[in-house]
Structure 1
Amino acid sequence: MTENYLNHRKPSYRLLLISAFALLSLLNFSCKKDAPKKSNLTGISAFSLTGHDAVVFAIDQNALTISNVDSLPFNTSPAALIAKFTSVNNSAVTVNSVAQVSGTTPNNFAQTVTYQTTAEDGVTVRSYAVKVNIAKVDPKTVAWKQLTANGGYGPYRTLTAGVLNNKFFAFGTQGVNTGTFSSNDGITWTTVTATDNNAAVVPVAERQTAVFGFKNKVWLLGGHVPGAGFSFSYVTNSVWSSADGITWTATPRVVTPVGDNIWEGRERIGATVFQDKLWVIGGNRYPSFGNVNSNGVPLNDVWSSADGAAWTKVTAAAQFTARSNPSVLTHKNKLYVIGGKNASNTLLDEIWTSADGATWTQLTVATKFTGRWGHQVVSFNNNLFLIGGRTADGIQNDLWVSEDDGVNWTKITAGDPRVLPGTFTGRAYFSAFVHQSAIWIIGGEFQDANGYTYRNDTWKGSLVK
């Protein structure tokens, strides 16, 4: 009976074994079917350079190119720049078969570099041409050009010029010989008939200072009014203003000012616009015997006006020594008085600054320019540019630049991208101003053994970008 029973059960064991094998095969097939495929997605989704995070790189996923819109700074070495990148689905990234680690691996970007990305499947590849643009031109470069050697006017002993509403104006005086001229380009000049509310031809005075743009007008301040007939010359405290350079309004001359309502008459005024006010800083009293080629006693008082008519005495005597023909300007929200000649005829290399016009601080200058007067300083491209003027060696054609707000000065010589051309002639008492991202220089006076000569040329110095 037992034998018959076992014989009867044998087929069931065989069936069980077959069933178990089938189940294992099914499970194995099921496991293979459910295994995830390796991704075929690859690429670079972000790219930048260590140390140059502000420089944006554009990625063109169609053209497979990567490049920076804004150039890296001039003189940046491309030899060992380190890229920071994000790869799609952690794709492998190589350059010339060398594995790349974001933020770690350096490359020489002097030429286009190919970044190859490989997907997880080991098959799909995308190659990006990476070009790093570095500025080829020194941002300090100033391209100087003489626009005209002769503006067709004057020349005049006193010439003051600038821009109002995108039109150039030049005001020339030499004794009773005066003229107003306008230009659209600083090259071709046209005579303008300009008169004031007293029917006087403008400009009226020599050694006068012009300020352009305050309250959308041009202003002529003080000056030396020549004598006529039996009358003597004098220095005035009248102020002329015009919205178009043709029709002018003059404030009355106050011969003997009382109180603090108006500054005394003067010539060679230092003037600028600061905190939405017109400022008069120093100047000179009437010169001996009325000689316009000499300077009278220098002043160091400071005045301001919100409208050019009502004046406030900010200080009767600033901390700086009274001086003739310094350069007065506004730079980085401060008033600057630079250089000049004091009453003892010492040529100064000092710089004084003020945040309010009342309290003045002498700047500690580490590397100085040569002391001078009759020069001009302009604030341009966040630097200070000092041009020309009269030193102990005579009238100069030099250029000095300070990149740290007046602490250190460098005389610009051959090889520096800012150097003035050798054809730029020496001058003092000229006009220099900034317009349309360029420095403009117009006119000026020169003196040598042969006497005085006067300029009516126009120069322009543009930043090369």
Structure 2
Amino acid sequence: MRSRKMAGGGFIAGTGAQSPRGWVRVTPAAAFSPRDTAEGGVIFKKKMWLSNGFYHGSVLHRDLWSSSDGATWVRVLDNTPYDGYSEMVVFKGRLWAIKGSVWNSMDGVRWKCVLDKTPFGGRGYGEALVHGGKLWQLGSGPDVWSSPDGINWTCVCKAAPYGARYAAEVVSHSGRLWLMGGSTPEVNNPPEKGYAKSTTHNDVWSSADGAEWKREVEHAPWAPRQWFAAAVYRGEIWLVGGFDNVNKRNLADVWHSRDGIEWRELVSETQFSPRHEPAIFVFDGSLWVVAGNSWPLDNDVWRLECGGKPSRSAASRARGQAAREECAWSRDASRWGAMRKGFHEARAKMGFLAAPESAANVGMLLSDLTGSVIYRKDPYENWNDENRWTQNHAALWAALGQSQIPADAVWAETLSPALLGRYRALTLMGARIVTDDQAAMLRKWVNAGGVLIAGGAASLHYQGGGLRPNYLLSDLFGVNYDGNRDVSDPNKVDTYCIVRRGSMPKAVPGSSLDIVRLMVFRAVKPVASLGIYKVSDAAAAFLPGITPGTSCEYDMPLGYDKVKPGAARVLAAFANGDPALTVNKSGRGLCYFWTPVYPALCHVARDWETELKIYRFWPNVRELLAAMVKDGLAHQKAALPAEVTGVPEYVEVIVRRQPEQRRWMIHLRDHGSTPGGVKGAALAAHPPAGESVKRVFYPDTDADAAFKACEGGVTAKLRDFEEHDMVAVEW
């Protein structure tokens, strides 16, 4: 098999047409939410149409969008009436949605069901298209169906020779149907690194009538793949991206072929990120790639710029020019000056960036044993699967970051007295399994003056996963377990789980392990599920930063531990009197116990990543966590190594140390890209015991920052910055 790579600016052999110049990003973030598996490829009434889409955890977006230029997208419907993930085509002047049922529309707004149940059913990863004046459905099994009207369907082939193929791509080209790539549901041999029961292909098949099929290519030059996109553009078949199951990676390559046999790869100076399940369009003289899953999901829009003079509006041309200026930065000489400045700054900071270790004295304790035994049905399954354990900890990490609390992630399985000695405060959220050795070390650490902030269900399970009668660390917590509280009345639950199979999220009915393994849908804040707990007057001695009477919200169906206080004092309680937060003195240390099992899931977010800017915590949840850390440290006559104030919540503070140089490097990262930069930041630095600060300065310019003494350290006003800054403190 011959193949040729083609760079922008040449000619496509045999077509006489000038080749594409390269990919241009029309918009980095369209109006629709990030998604993959959105049904695209449809041009109707001089617009591109994008239907539905996949969100993390099999949540289905049921909306419908259209665009006349790729930059501005208009939501046509919030909730489409047809089956989720229906295949979209234009046929006989109407927009059609085909899956388990068949619908059509004259305008995309008003829809009519013309067939309640299709004979092929609601399969996933199939393809509907128009070929030879008929509607066709194939690519989700070995059978091939056609219909002259969308109502009467005929199975023209029960067992095509390519087998039970799914996640393939199908196009109509040169009077033939073409099926390319995809997967068959069989154990792969030789093994593929991705899904073990999915064997991917890079073959090409064609048929004139859908009944008789010919394999044109057994192994095309492009990698075997599934979840890719294909279209016919400028007289050729084009293939874009997908998932390489052999190597377990997303793809960003682009191939095209005039005859389906000889393939050429398009190499562009600018390129979209590797992704699977993008939507593809042929519109306004260009090939378009929209959204997809790059881990994370995308909502960007890319256009393949071509030679010739395709018809475009002045606004569209202006947007294309702006995108070229943005993406093809290497052609702009002024960018090199900015890069040169960046390299010089990095060189000036080199000595401050060389493998520094963390100086944080706060840690987020994670139990891998809990994640493996409790939150995965199979302890050996892939950790890439998201679950409520990872979701809660990602949110907890964001809450600490938004509170400008430098913290480390610490695995319980690596605990040692020396490691614990680095920290003055630790969170213990979601650690249902704590071993006897870990418990002994934590007791000794708290009694020596540590501050432990534990959450509901901490240390409540044996190593095998069984439920203990009481917490292993009940002596530290100062409370005893008295059962789990959640909401069983479905009328009081509007919290939903995210399920891996099926198109609808599942309501949270309780706290069984099968339920707690599921992530929680946090794109929308519930209403009926909300409960309130209030801070009591007794909190003043332990949480001076929180006003008595302060209310905090919790998602009640997620469950909380009902406890009987022993030595602990109740600092906050639910409306029914159940404790929500307690504190216990143990030796010279403190232990807070937050009875909600998933307190960090009290937020609204559009993703489960650890980027600070995507989390909106409910009132006083993040503030209560920050108070437990900061006021707990203060109660122990300790403090954070660096406290930064006067900054937006999306500014993260990271502290690194170089003991041999007797200094800290304090990084400030603005995740929110604050317009005009971050202004008015102030620093309070608390050096190691017995040390005095001698200098505060900026490593990139070696300029000093004026400082003055305060209790336990120094304070300084920091310079304004954009995106990132670093200040060094020496003693």
Normalised by the length of structure 2, the TM-score is 0.31
Larger Rg: 1
More helix by share: 2
More strand by share: 1
